[in-house]
Copies of this chain bind each other. A is one copy, B any other.
């Protein structure tokens, strides 16, 4: 069992289309901020602020690699979300098309 308030807070994070889409992208692999900006076609500060919320909510982890920041999905400790994430459509094409290599935005 999980506290209702905590589940509600997590659901609030998932209840935004941009954030939920970003999380579905992260099912494929970790992504750096510049990739997410390109794939989601929005501004860097917008992505940055969404990622902070996701990080504060414990849904993603960040890893700094030089000047780049990579985010990865972190839901192993939230079993009640597993099924939900399994049902989110794969985003392999998007992620591959907009990879750092293609974009030349990071290494």
Contact = CB atoms under 8 A, between A and B. Distances in A.
A14 B17 contact: no
A24 B6 CA distance: 13
A5 interface: yes
A12 to B, nearest CB: 3
Interface in A1-27: 1-5, 7-9, 11-17, 20-21, 24
A24 B3 CA distance: 11
A82 interface: yes
A68 interface: no
B15 A88 contact: no
A81 B87 CA distance: 10
20 contacts: A1-B88, A1-B90, A2-B88, A2-B89, A3-B89, A7-B14, A7-B84, A7-B87, A8-B15, A8-B17, A8-B20, A11-B15, A11-B20, A12-B15, A14-B15, A80-B83, A80-B86, A83-B83, A83-B84, A84-B84
Interface of A: 1-5, 7-9, 11-17, 20-21, 24, 79-84, 86-90
